[in-house]
Structures are given as C-alpha cells and as structure tokens.
Amino acid sequence: MARTLLVAPQQRGAYATVGAALAAASSGVTILVTPGTYHEALFVVDMSVRVTAADDSGTVELDARGLPHPAFDVRNGELSIEGLTVRAGDHPAIAGRRSSISIKQCEISSGYDAAIDVRDRSRCDALQTRITGGQFGFLFEDSGGTVQDCEVSDVDDGMIVRLGADPQIRASTISRCQRRGIYVYQLGKPVVEGCEISQVGAVGVEIAHESSPVLRRCWIHDTQGVAIQVGRGCAGEIDSCRVENVRSPGIEVAPDASTRVTGTGDDRAGRPDAADDSRDQAVLGSLLAELDAMVGLAGVKAQVRGLIDELQVNEWRRGAGLAVEQTGHHLIFAGAPGTGKTTVARLYGRLLAVLGVLPSGAFREVARRDLVGQYLGQTAIKTAAVFEEAAGGVLFIDEAYTLSRAGLRGDFGQESIDTLVKLMEDHRDNVAVIAAGYTTEMTEFLSANPGLASRFSKTIEFENYHSEELVLIITRLARAADYEFVPETQPLLGEHFERLRHEPNFGNAREARRLFEAVRQAQAQRLRGSGQRPTVDALRQLTVADLTLAIEEGRHTGSPA
C-alpha cells in the first residue's frame, strides 16, 4: 500500500517542509500539505509522487521565487499535484523532462520563464488550472498531453507548441498576452478545440515552420494582429472558428500553405480611431511611468524618452500624410551586469508595440550558445531560427561581444555576426535587435563586420549604481516580498554596498538581490532558533543581526553578500 506523509510545520511528528517529506519518500507516495507558504524548490527524479492540499481550510503555496530552480523539477519521474498555488521567479514553476505530470485545480505563475515547461517526450495533463503570469503559459516541446478547462493570462505567449509536440487543448481561455495566444512552430501538431483567445498584443494563433495543427470551434477576438496566421509550408485544419474585432484579413494563410479553412465566421468589427489613440496614449503613459519608477538610470531614461518622442511624432506625421525619415530601432546597451539593461529592453519593446512600430512587445533573450553552432553551416541556421522566433518583437543578445572571438580556430561566432547583419537590414521593420555587454568589449564587437555598426541607431550607456541607489533597490525587494529592514540597518547597508562598488566583478543590482536572499536566510535561522512561533511583525522584520550575519557569511564564503 502506498505511503502517505503529512507536512504540517506546527504538528509534532509531521514534516516541517515538503522537501523533507520528499527526501523521506519512496516511489508512489502521497504527500499531504497543510495550509501555508513553503519557500522551496523540489526535485522529483526517477520516482512517482503525488502532492496535494491536506484540506480546504486555506491555501497551500509553494513559492520558489528568488531560488535558482523551478518550484517542481521533474526528471524521469511522475508528478501529480492538486489544489496548490505554485510560484517561481526566473525559472519555470513546473519543469518536466522525460516525465509525466498531472495538474488539477492549481494556480501557477512564473516570472521570466514558462509557467509549465515540458520537453523530451514528456506528458502534461492539466485540468481546471489557472496560469496567472510568466513568459509563456504552457511550453510543449516534443511532448504531449491534455489541457482541459484551463485559464492562461498575463503572459507573453499563452502557449508554445514546437518540435512535433501534439497536446490536446480543449475548452480553455487565453487572454491578456503581450504577444501571441498560441504559437505553433517547428512541426507542431496540436489539436485546439472550443477555446477562447482574446486581448493579445499580436496574433491570436500563429502557425509556422511546417506545422499542422487542428483548430475547431474556437473564438478569437480583440487581437492587435490577425486572428490566425498560417505560414509557408504549413498544413492542418481550421474549422468553424469565429473571429471578431481583429486585424484584417482575420485569417491569413500563406500562398503555399495547404491548411484547410472551413465554416469560419469573420466579423472584424473595427474600433474608432479616437478611442484607439486614447487607449494607446494611456498605455504609453503607463509604460513610461514604469520606466521612471526604476531606480537611478537618469541618462538612460532621458535617451529612451527621446527615442519614444521621435517615434511618436513620426507616427503622427505619417498619419497626417507628411514625409517621415526612416529611423532604425536596433540599439547597443553598454555597461556592466546588473544595471537594468534587460528590464529596460523589455520596456522598450512594449513601447514600440504601443506606438505601432512593432507588431508586438514580445521579448526573446539569447546568448552566444543560442546563436553559434558547433559545425560549419550550423550557425547561420541557428541564428536565422532565433531571429524568426523574435519576429514582431525584441531580440536581446546578452554579452554580444562573445560572438566576436577573433583568432580562435574553429569558432563560428563571426558567421553569426555576418548573418545578423543581413537579417537586421532585411527585417528592420519587424524586429528590434538590442545587443548588450561591457562598454569596451561592445566597441570591439561593432568592429567585427564593416556593416555592423551602421545597423545600430544608438548606443545607450548604463552606469554603475551608487550605494544609495542599491540601498533603495534592496529596500524595494524586501517590501515586495513582505519584509522590512529596520531603520538601524540603513547605515550598514550603505557601507556594505559602497565597499562592494570598488571590488572587481561588482554586480550592481545583482548584489542587492544576493544580499536580500542571504538576509532572509539569516532571519529564518534566527527565528527557527528562538524556539517559539514568531509574530507577524517578527516574520517581516530584517534586523541588524540578520544583516551582519549575512555579510559576514558572504565574506567567509567569498560571495559578494
């Protein structure tokens, strides 16, 4: 008979954490979790486990934000979860590789990664589950499963289906996506039935790279782009789908695609221009306010605002029938790590989308490994594929200077640069490329190809943060996580960051994030050692003792914190 383990931090004889129960578990175990928030990242490897809420008296939240792992990382295993809230930061909330995952009546979100990411011939079955944030809602790669009666909202792309993946997606809703509702590419073949897709920043369903999905009885409405876009060489079927209030022609099929379209209504009711402009100006103002709210970066903010002002006026001139000079959107972001380059790049893409300069505000971040192959001829293919994935949005190349490793035998970085130069010109109205890295190294990068420097319209310099700005950043990080540094910590924080600013490999805002995590751990150690249940105020307060311990342990381990 399968074992059942109980997680109840305040109950004698029960496990204090889900991780502790999982470490003691054998395959086939059921772990019952009592209400509360558990700051953990869990690994399910070569075993089967079921994790579920113990009762209906409260929310069971597994929170992996701030941890360098998915909340659930499943490898060669089986995971079943029910009635949980699962949150992650810069990693998927749930990741599966060669595994089977079942999700029922859960709420899931991530920061800048997929909420649910299954690959390598995995299977994911999701029922009555809500995804409320992430770069992608679901990502199916070479995998399948079912998505039934689920909701996806407030992500970049609602669902990604690629590399032959074939999930069944039924009776689900996808809304408020920055980019696309569903993106099917690289031979994807999902079946999408009875779904509603609305309020997306680009195309409702985009189909590319010889994919062959089946869409039946879907309702796609209120999209900035067309409802369904079918690329060259694609097949499949679109049957009895209803499209309303979308960009003409509603359903767009490439001339050589063999997709069969039947029984589809097309009402594309337009919106008044005045209402459209008013809404766009409100969104534009909100995004600029978000830029202004970032700590420091006065010079960066001024230059970005200057670019947006010029683009806005150009749009007004174009609408008035006046001549408009061609402007480029490719930028260089130069500066040390941790200075906000990625965050500003995301905002820039969203600003361009609101202005109508780009089809969407989507964001694709890549590094050298995503662009450069190991064999002759492979690099150009990889670079072109990444560029196509970024179509309509921003392609952000981090540490771009690593592509120009001149003189290294057998290195194909130069081939990637040469390919980029051509693609940046051919698709200058559809993709904004932002190349980022250290100032000196980026100067060398621009000399790697005679035409490269001319492709970028501007270089924006990101300066290092001052110690006072880092104190403000860590204070905001704490408040966002329901913590509060006591006033007595402020001088010590300032002294610590001022010392770090003069050390090699200074990480700017990354130092603030590292220190915050170390202080949280120090506080947890102090509270657990007190032998009594802390008050709400005690759970929130980060003290001088917590901060001192975090700094001292950082010095002993060699960590900046």
Query: Are 472 and 458 part of one and the same domain?
Result: no
How far is C-alpha 366 from the geometric centre of its chain's CA atoms?
A: 12
CATH code assigned at 51: 2.160.20.10
| Structure tokens that stand for 111 in this block | 């920061």
pLDDT at 560: 52
The DSSP 8-state label assigned to residue 402 in this structure reads G
Total count of domains within the chain: 4
Q: Does one domain contain both 432 and 290?
A: yes
Q: Which amino acid is residue 49, in one-letter code?
A: V
Q: Is the dihedral of CA 128, 129, 132, 138 positive or negative?
A: negative
Residue 156's pLDDT is 92
Separation of alpha carbons 13 and 20, rounded Å: 12
Identify the DSSP state of 403.
Answer: G
- Has residue 339 been placed in a domain? yes
- The pLDDT, as a whole number, for residue 275 is 45
Distances (CA, A) of 281 to 241, 288, 319: 32, 10, 15
Amino acid identity, residue 538? A
Instruction: Give the domain-ending residue among 120, 153, 186.
Output: 153
Rounded Cα gap, residues 85 and 93, in angstroms? 10
> Do the beta carbons of residue 226 and residue 202 sit within 8 Å?
no
Domain range enclosing 58: 1-153
In a domain, 158, yes or no: no
Structure tokens at 179: 């980019």
- What is residue 214's predicted lDDT score, i.e. its pLDDT? 96
Q: Do 142 and 178 sit in the same domain of this protein?
A: no
pLDDT at 298: 83
Query: Does some domain include residue 371?
Result: yes
Q: Provide the pLDDT for residue 506.
A: 78
Give every CB contact of residue 86 below 8 A, 6+ residues apart in sequence. 61, 62, 64, 71, 72, 93, 94, 106, 107, 108, 109
3-state SS track over 243-290: EECCCCCCEEECCCCCCEEECCEEECCCCCHHHHHHHHHHHHHHHHHH
If asked whether residues 393 and 525 sit together in one domain, one would say no
94-97 and 251-253 strand pairing:
unpaired
Answer yes or no: do 430 and 307 share one domain. yes
Q: Going by C-beta distance under 8 Å and a sequence separation of 6 or more, which residues neighbour residue 296?
A: 340, 463, 465, 466, 469
Alpha-carbon torsion, ordered 386, 388, 390, 396, to 10 deg: 40
pLDDT at res. 94: 97
Of 153, 185, 216, which one is at a domain's C-terminal end?
153
Residue 73 · residue 50 · CB < 8 Å: no
Q: What is the CATH number of the domain that holds 316?
A: 3.40.50.300
Q: Which residues contact 23 (CB under 8 A, 6 or more apart)?
A: none
Terminal CA-to-CA distance of the chain, rounded, Å? 48
* CB distance 183 to 206 below 8 Å: yes
Query: Does 123 share its domain with 255?
Result: no
- Residue 270 has what pLDDT? 32
Instruction: Assess if residue 93 is contained within a domain.
Output: yes
Residue 440 to residues 3, 209, 508: CA-CA distances in angstroms? Answer: 60, 39, 18
This prediction has a pTM of 0.52
Q: Do residue 361 and residue 439 come from a single domain?
A: yes
Q: Is position 159 within any domain?
A: no
Residue where one domain finishes, among candidates 406, 438, 462: 462
Low-confidence ranges of the chain (pLDDT < 70): 1-2, 56-57, 264-283, 319, 324, 326, 360-361, 377, 405-411, 554-561
C-alpha to C-alpha distance for 335 and 440, rounded to whole angstroms = 9
Q: In sequence order, what DSSP letters do the residues of 35-103 get, joined into one string?
A: SEEE---EEEESSEEEEEES-SSS-EEEE-TTSSS-SEEEESSEEEEESEEEE-SSS-SEEEES-EEEE
Q: Please report whether residue 168 resides in a domain.
A: no
Instruction: Return the SS3 of 213.
Output: coil
CATH of the domain at 523: 1.10.8.60
CA distance 138 to 118: 8
**Is residue 162 domain-resident?**
no
Given this model, what pLDDT does residue 309 score? 83
Q: Which helix (H) or strand (E) holds 29?
A: strand 29-33
Q: Are 97 and 119 in contact (CB under 8 A)?
A: yes
What's the pLDDT score for residue 52? 95
Paired with 130 in beta bridges are: 107, 151
Q: Is 118 helix (H, G, I), strand (E, B) or coil?
A: strand
DSSP strands (E only) in 259-326: 260-262, 265-267
User: Do 46 and 71 fall into the same domain?
Assistant: yes
In angstroms, the CA 363 to CA 393 distance is 6
* SS3 letters across 440-478: HHHHHHHCCCCCHHHHCCEEEEECCCCHHHHHHHHHHHH
- Residue 423 in domain: yes
Q: How far is C-alpha 555 from the chain's CA centre? A: 32
Same domain, yes or no, for 305 and 449?
Answer: yes
Nearest Cα to Cα of residue 126 among 110, 139, 99, 145: 145
Cα–Cα distance, 510 to 340 (Å, whole number): 10
| 180/158 Cα distance (integer angstroms) | 6
The radius of gyration of the chain's CA atoms, rounded to the nearest angstrom, is 25
Q: What does the H/E/C string look like for 122-161? A: CEEEEECCEECCEEEEEEEECCEEEEECCEEECEEEEEEE
Is 449 found in the same domain as 477? no
- Clarify whether residues 246 and 310 are in a common domain: no
Do residue 203 and residue 333 come from a single domain? no
